[in-house]
Amino acid sequence: MRRFWCVRALRLLAAALGGCFMLTLPLAPLQAAPQTFNTALPVARGDFVFREQFMLVKSSDDPSSADRDVTAWAVVSALGYGVNSDFALFGVLPYVNKQLKVTAGGMRFTRQAAGVGDLKLFGRYTIFKNNAPGKSLRIAPFAGIKIPTGEHHARDALGRLPAGVQPGSGSWDAFGGVVTTYQTLNYQIDTQASYQVNTAASGFEFGDVARLDASLQYRLWPRVLSGGVPGFLYGLIEANFSHQNKNRSGGVRDPNSGGTTLLLSPGLQYVTKRWILETTVQVPLVQNLNGSALKNDYVLRAGLRINI
């Protein structure tokens, strides 16, 4: 009898999770600074910059009866190396833990996966720089690949986990863009435009992602600079626009995936010569998602950067 109910529950779940298998978790790996994207600031020749960032992603606003609830966290390690003063190489490797709760057949199920995610490697080359006393303007294109180092066949008692819950995508993807940084002693402005081309793996393909990011950091303390190199406390505000195409499964577009989002991210950053402490919370301003694609509640980030 018990087995009968288990089998029935699994069938109901499989039907209810039709959209969930296409679920795209909003856990895009970060690349460097300011907080949610890259920067054009230099990495000195032969030097390293290490960054560790903790992310907590919460998504629970499900319009469907499945009442999906996603909690995911990640520890993202990024290492930058200055090949020379203009060219830097970066590697970004996340460790992710994703948990999906879903209601099916009147029962609540939890599906979860954890492990190393996909590795991103990219290079950034400064094609323009204009240095002046206390200020700098830099423009740097970047390009790289995402290597499928994360598991994408993770299973639980209910079968193979949805693609969005897998630690990795299984696909080799390419991305590129351009980042601009204008920095003065009082404030810093960063902008980035980027595009990621996703490919298929195991019959599933995440939609391509276009992003536009902008960040303003303003020095709150010390209000007046006198001499030496004091630590700077920055208040920051970032805007993160992204558009993702629909995912494809077996060559068919998933109508409940992809869409357009605009996140606003206020935060704080304390900067010294050797290290940076930073935290921000991303809250959605606009979420025009397709079908029943799951919306973001918030993304919390806290991190540390170290000059090596």
Partner 1 sequence: MTEKNIMAYTRRKALFSATLAAAMMPLMAGAQTSKESDDRATRYVLGIDGMACPFCAFGVEKKLNALDGVSKLDTNILAGTVFVTMEPGKTLSEKDARLAVEEAGFDLRDFKEDSGAS
Question: Which residues are near partner 1 by CB under 8 A?
Answer: 41-47, 82, 84-86, 126, 129, 131-136, 183-185, 188, 225-232, 271-274, 276, 305, 307
Cβ proximity to partner 1, 191 vs 261, nearer residue: 191
Instruction: Let me know: does 150 contact 115? Beta carbons within 8 Å.
Output: yes
Q: Give the whole-angstrom CA distance, residue 156 versus residue 189.
A: 45
**Phi, psi of 233, rounded to the nearest 5 degrees:** -105, 115
Cβ proximity to partner 1, 20 vs 271, nearer residue: 271
Question: Measured from the CB of residue 42, what is the shortest distance to partner 1 in angstroms?
Answer: 3
Question: Measured from the CB of residue 16, what is the shortest distance to partner 1 in angstroms?
Answer: 49
292: helix, strand or coil: coil
User: Which amino acid makes up residue 169?
Assistant: S
Cβ proximity to partner 1, 188 vs 256, nearer residue: 188
Cβ proximity to partner 1, 58 vs 129, nearer residue: 129
Q: Give the whole-angstrom CA distance, residue 218 versus residue 215.
A: 10
| CB-side neighbour CA atoms (13 Å) of 298 | 8
Cβ proximity to partner 1, 272 vs 288, nearer residue: 272
Question: Measured from the CB of residue 44, what is the shortest distance to partner 1 in angstroms?
Answer: 4
Question: Measured from the CB of residue 70, what is the shortest distance to partner 1 in angstroms?
Answer: 34
**Phi, psi of 21, rounded to the nearest 5 degrees:** -65, -20
Question: Measured from the CB of residue 122, what is the shortest distance to partner 1 in angstroms?
Answer: 18
The closest of 72, 194, 91 to 146, measured between CA atoms, is 91
**Those residues with Cβ within 8 angstroms of residue 162's Cβ, 6 or more apart along the chain or in another chain:** 17, 20, 21, 22, 23, 100, 111
Tokens representing residue 205 in the block: 């393909």
Compute the C-alpha angle 201/204/210, nearest 5°.
Answer: 95
163: helix, strand or coil: helix
| CB-side neighbour CA atoms (13 Å) of 186 | 2
Cβ proximity to partner 1, 182 vs 298, nearer residue: 182
End-to-end CA distance of the chain: 62
Cβ proximity to partner 1, 37 vs 232, nearer residue: 232
Cβ proximity to partner 1, 105 vs 231, nearer residue: 231
Question: Measured from the CB of residue 231, what is the shortest distance to partner 1 in angstroms?
Answer: 6
Question: Measured from the CB of residue 36, what is the shortest distance to partner 1 in angstroms?
Answer: 18
Instruction: Let me know: does 72 contact 98? Beta carbons within 8 Å.
Output: yes
Question: Measured from the CB of residue 221, what is the shortest distance to partner 1 in angstroms?
Answer: 12
